[in-house]
Chains A and B, each alone.
Chain A
Amino acid sequence: MSIEIKHVTKRYAGYTALDNISLNVDTGDLVALLGPSGCGKTTLLRIIAGLDTPDSGSIFLEERDTTGIPAREKNVGFVFQHYALFRHLNVFDNVAFGLRVRPSQTRPSKNEIRDRVVYLLKLVQMEWAVKRYPSQLSGGQRQRVALARALAVNPKVLLLDEPFSALDAKVRQELRRWLRKLHDDIHVTSIFVTHDQEEALELADRIVVINKGRIEQQGSPQEVYDHPANAFVYNFLGNVNVFHGRLRDGKVLVGDHLIEAGKRIGHHEAEHGQAFIRPHEIGISRIRSGKNDIVGFIRDIRLMGGQIGLELETAGFDKPIEAEIPRETWRNLELSRGDEVFITLDRATVFTGDYVI
């Protein structure tokens, strides 16, 4: 079931939640709508579900215009951030709800409903909890029941609104992997909303980065991460060092330092430029390796799992530079606090033109 979003605009008093959004989702894909809170991603999801109506534009589900069709006729599964389980019904009745409210002609028989509910509860590994009430379940368990409930009606598409954000980190990661596996098994076209770039990168087939009601970039996780279309995407997808400066011959002059860019995005003639470099793209060595190397001092060393985080102080930049190096490099270089190192910023990406996050 493909989803086509055509020129959708939604305005609220005072601001534009969605500004002329167009987007295609292929059948069977798992797509992440990624963006900061208030960027309009949830509004878009609700419009697809029929829980909200756009001011203009249209939503096509499998080539059929479904704009303005209310949620109950759309056959779209929706999973809410805070589960929205029916607390007066037990797990079984929650999952069975969507089947039981069908008109009598299309309603499955009692046995069919039971079989389907049991099948779905097995799928989400909650078959032991049929008689439990939502209040007796943990957050992760509730969300799995909510997922089974949404899947019970055989939805054409599955929409998940920040499904894991109310859970703690460990459960969140577990459920993420589990959902990815589930999706690979049942292959229902799914869109999930998240503000967590890690979640989007790990889970999605495609990522759509949204900011201020506009799509900034879309593509596979790798594309979006490795080739950010603009400064916003670069910044949003993970930690980054940003240097603001004047542009000269495609290089950014920050203070006395000239940062040579590995890549350049934007116009040539801009006055202002910014150089972006991720902490792990920074080269650290004991000896000068190139003429553009910057001299810095290690101000702090942090253990970050497999990586070592360094906070580097340099004479030319007002902000400390964050770098990440593998543990082994750190051991080989025998770095300790206060040491002088040479910093290579050659892999920086330069964005030109003014830009505000």
Chain B
Amino acid sequence: MFRASPLPDKQTRTMLPFKRNRRQILPGFGLSMGYTVFYLSAIVIVPLATLVAGSFRIAPDLFVNTVTSPRVLASYRLSLSTALIAAMFNAFFGFLTAWTLVRYRFPGRKVLDALVDLPFALPTAVAGICFATLYSPVGWVGQFLGRFDIQLINAPSGIVIALIFIGFPFVVRTVQPVLAELEPEIEEAAHSLGASRWQAFRRILLPHIFPALLTGVTLSFARAIGEYGSVIFIAGNLPFRTEIAPLMIMSKLDQFDYDGAAAVALVLLLISFSMLLVLNSVQRWQEKAYR
């Protein structure tokens, strides 16, 4: 599904798409490139461009006032920080899950493997309601945690839990194939050269899977920034405390403040895009090292 390809072959990278006079060995460049551009335009660029164009209609001072209002700023902070924390959690536990699924053979492995994809399939609102029920002060887990004065519902940590849930499959599904392709000889070679388990992991295994891990974390992070359905049920949506940015957009829409909604959305879009760009270039730089 979200198969990371840390090793795209050299040819596709060095192809010169704009030299029309040079005949391509791989046929169909025109058609597939045209299709790609059209598809990306229809699905991604045009809707987002509408958003950007729409926000130009807003008076500049109104725009600035909207996106710098303390409540909106708080929502950005919350969205980004919870998404980042969730992505970090997923980096670790997603990797662990991928490791378990690839390296060990145990009964029920296939079932576990299938379970990983469930967060993709489940309507996120359903997940949100489940979490809210579970962690509410009268819920199974909430009751127990209440004894230690830990409250997850209506709190940022609850948001993180929801975001971990929806972002989890990305890391597993990107790391898994790369880990599976890694020959056991690579690690054996490291051991025979005197490397300890940790050294073999740190110096050999991790660098091998790092690009894939980064892809997974990026996807998980990006998905978490935009998540709405599951979070609103568990967050409580308290102004300044547990209001995420997508919720700000929704509530502005509810008040027919379309310009305000567009302004908030545009800034969120810009933040996400620049972060994705940074992560992508880190990844490219990582991969370039050994190509």
Which residues of A are in contact with B by a Cβ distance under 8 Å?
Answer: 49-51, 70-78, 80, 82, 84-90, 97-98, 101-102, 133-135, 146, 149-150, 152-153
Chain B, residue nearest A46 (CB): B188
Question: How many inter-chain residue pairs (CB < 8 Å) link A and B?
Answer: 74
* A82–chain B nearest beta-carbon distance, Å: 7
Contact between chains at A101 and B195 (CB < 8 Å): yes
Q: Which of A88, A89, A135, A152 has the most CB of B within 10 A?
A: A88
Contact between chains at B289 and A84 (CB < 8 Å): no
Chain B, residue nearest A159 (CB): B192
**Does any Cβ of A come within 8 Å of B186's Cβ?**
yes
Interface string of B175-194 (1 = CB under 8 A from A): 00000000101101111111
Contact between chains at B192 and A133 (CB < 8 Å): no
Given contacts A51-B191, A78-B189, A153-B193, 9 further A-B contacts (CB under 8 A): A49-B192, A71-B191, A85-B189, A86-B186, A97-B195, A98-B194, A101-B193, A134-B290, A150-B193
4 smallest beta-carbon distances between A and B, as pairs: A98-B193, A84-B185, A88-B290, A78-B192
Docked Cα-Cα span, A86 to B191, in Å, equals 12
Docked Cα-Cα span, A135 to B191, in Å, equals 22
> B189: which A residues are within 8 A, CB to CB?
78, 80, 84-86, 146, 149
> B207: which A residues are within 8 A, CB to CB?
88
> A70: which B residues are within 8 A, CB to CB?
191
Q: Given A84-B188, A133-B290, A72 and B204 touching (CB < 8 A)? A: no
* B80–chain A nearest beta-carbon distance, Å: 31
Select one of A76, A82, A89, A134 contacting B192, CB under 8 A.
A76
Q: Which of B178-233 contact A (CB under 8 A)?
A: 183, 185-186, 188-196, 199, 203-204, 207-208
> A77: which B residues are within 8 A, CB to CB?
192
Contact between chains at B290 and A135 (CB < 8 Å): yes
Contact between chains at A89 and B199 (CB < 8 Å): no
Chain A, residue nearest B289 (CB): A88
Q: Given A80-B185, A97-B203, A133 and B291 touching (CB < 8 A)? A: yes
> A75: which B residues are within 8 A, CB to CB?
194
Contact between chains at A82 and B183 (CB < 8 Å): yes
* B288–chain A nearest beta-carbon distance, Å: 10
Q: Which of B194, B196, B199, B289 has the most CB of A within 10 A?
A: B194
Contact between chains at B188 and A153 (CB < 8 Å): no
> B190: which A residues are within 8 A, CB to CB?
86, 97, 101
Interface string of B73-103 (1 = CB under 8 A from A): 0000000000000000000000000000000
* A27–chain B nearest beta-carbon distance, Å: 20
> A73: which B residues are within 8 A, CB to CB?
194
Select one of B185, B191, B192, B194 contacting A102, CB under 8 A.
B194
Which residues of B are in contact with A by a Cβ distance under 8 Å?
Answer: 183, 185-186, 188-196, 199, 203-204, 207-208, 289-291
> B290: which A residues are within 8 A, CB to CB?
87-90, 133-135
Chain B, residue nearest A87 (CB): B290
Chain B, residue nearest A161 (CB): B185
> A76: which B residues are within 8 A, CB to CB?
192
Contact between chains at A101 and B186 (CB < 8 Å): no
Docked Cα-Cα span, A2 to B20, in Å, equals 66
Select one of B185, B193, B194, B199 contacting A82, CB under 8 A.
B185
> B194: which A residues are within 8 A, CB to CB?
72-73, 75, 98, 101-102, 153
> B291: which A residues are within 8 A, CB to CB?
133, 135
Chain B, residue nearest A146 (CB): B189
> A102: which B residues are within 8 A, CB to CB?
194
Chain A, residue nearest B188 (CB): A51
> A134: which B residues are within 8 A, CB to CB?
290
Docked Cα-Cα span, A70 to B208, in Å, equals 24
Docked Cα-Cα span, A82 to B193, in Å, equals 16
> A49: which B residues are within 8 A, CB to CB?
192
Contact between chains at B185 and A71 (CB < 8 Å): no
Contact between chains at A149 and B193 (CB < 8 Å): yes
> B188: which A residues are within 8 A, CB to CB?
51, 71, 78, 80, 84
> A80: which B residues are within 8 A, CB to CB?
185, 188-189
* A23–chain B nearest beta-carbon distance, Å: 20
Docked Cα-Cα span, A98 to B200, in Å, equals 11
Contact between chains at A72 and B185 (CB < 8 Å): no
> B186: which A residues are within 8 A, CB to CB?
84, 86
Contact between chains at A101 and B183 (CB < 8 Å): no
Select one of A74, A86, A133 contacting B204, CB under 8 A.
A86
* B211–chain A nearest beta-carbon distance, Å: 9
Docked Cα-Cα span, A133 to B289, in Å, equals 9
Docked Cα-Cα span, A135 to B116, in Å, equals 34
> B192: which A residues are within 8 A, CB to CB?
49-51, 71-72, 74, 76-78, 150
Q: Given A82-B183, A84-B186, A86-B186, A72 and B289 touching (CB < 8 A)? A: no
* A163–chain B nearest beta-carbon distance, Å: 13
Q: Given A101-B195, A150-B192, A84 and B183 touching (CB < 8 A)? A: yes
Docked Cα-Cα span, A97 to B195, in Å, equals 9
Chain A, residue nearest B287 (CB): A88
> B185: which A residues are within 8 A, CB to CB?
80, 82, 84
* B255–chain A nearest beta-carbon distance, Å: 53
Chain A, residue nearest B186 (CB): A84
Docked Cα-Cα span, A85 to B182, in Å, equals 12
Select one of A87, A101, A133, A153 contacting B199, CB under 8 A.
A101
Chain A, residue nearest B6 (CB): A88
Docked Cα-Cα span, A318 to B94, in Å, equals 65
Contact between chains at B195 and A72 (CB < 8 Å): yes
* A159–chain B nearest beta-carbon distance, Å: 8
